[in-house]
Amino acid sequence: MRRVLEQAGLAALRQVDPETAHGLALKALNLGFGPQGGPVTSSRLAVTVAGLKLPNPVGLAAGFDKNAVAIVAASRAGFGFLEVGAATPRPQEGNPKPRLFRLTEDQAAINRFGFNNEGMEVMGERLAGRPAGVVLGLNLGANKDSADRAADFASVLRHCGAHLDFATVNVSSPNTEKLRDLQGKAALASLLSGVMEANESLARPVAVFLKIAPDLVLDELADIAEVATAAGLAGIIATNTTLDRQGLKSVTKSEKGGLSGQPLFEKSTRVLAQMAGMTRLPLIGVGGIGSAQQAYAKIRAGASAFQLYTALVYGGLSLVGDLARGLDALLARDGFANVRDAVGTGRGDWL
């Protein structure tokens, strides 16, 4: 019955504009209209990534819960870990609306939100009330009009870090002008130095990840791998949304912003596999995951865990448990005792 109601709810949400639908989905989640059983786990699924003990490798990607308003409800939906945000030092409205577009024919979305959020002060208060037993991270962002964007990332971590298990440096969003310039070798090294200094100032330093774009070439990936390792990061998240529009069918395909969903799967997985050959840091795979088979492909390409967002728009939150159970079955089929044993075993397929 819950799945029938979920499908009816998804159909209703598709009748309103996407950003309104997203807000309504968060409200429905908080009212209990979602899975309630907690994380699906098993001896095959439980895994430790960058020191984080996960009941399963299925994570919620940043952007779904930008302002940390649904942490408790999301923690019951089956995820092994959650990432909220992005948060910036000061509140900001983001880009003008409309800024979120469904690409139903492509099972995709385009967004140009521009780090709309309520700021680190509000975020910190909400994070302080986080439920126990949930592996929780925050996506760090920079204000659009900041005089020192690199310093913004450290400021957010310094303010919110006491309530986190991990933090993600997001320099790969395409929706803040020139933000991706911070992925350059020198700029990135300087930025990460400040973030890691802030992290060391915390009473309990957290795992720090870097989220990268899928639109990078091999030399750029190699530079990022070198800088991330030298900085002492815990891992890399591959990838954010893409500016590529190749092969799209939907009428909204030409909207500006970052593309996510099914069309991103191959591109993001290829970047993931390439990065896996350049660093020993743990990797988290993101981009186009909508089935257990695709989740398994991310693992075999080099990811130790993975995250979802856009697929939930089309499949609902019941997809979370389905992916965990499906992945467990695939690991058992292929004789893997644990997900970590499968990491990177199919990387050659993507090179």
* Catalytic residue positions, numbered: 173
Please give the Cα distance from 107 to 5 (Å, whole number).
Answer: 21
CA distances to 110, 131, 197, 244, 267 from 252, rounded to whole Å, are 8, 39, 43, 14, 20
- Rounded Cα distance between 241 and 259, Å, is 5
Residues 146, 112: Cα–Cα separation, whole Å = 19
First to last CA, the chain: 44
Cβ–Cβ < 8 Å for 234, 258? no
Contact between 228 and 211 under an 8 Å Cβ cutoff? The reply is no
Report the candidate in 13, 15, 46, 45 with the shortest Cα–Cα distance to residue 28. Answer: 13
E strand or H helix that includes residue 24: helix 18-30
- The first and second tokens of residue 135, run together, are 């592996």
Q: What angle do CA 269, 275, 278 make, to 5 degrees?
A: 155
Pairwise CA distance, residues 197 & 232, whole Å: 11
* CA separation for the pair 317, 6 (Å, rounded): 8
Using DSSP, state whether 110 is helix, strand or coil: strand
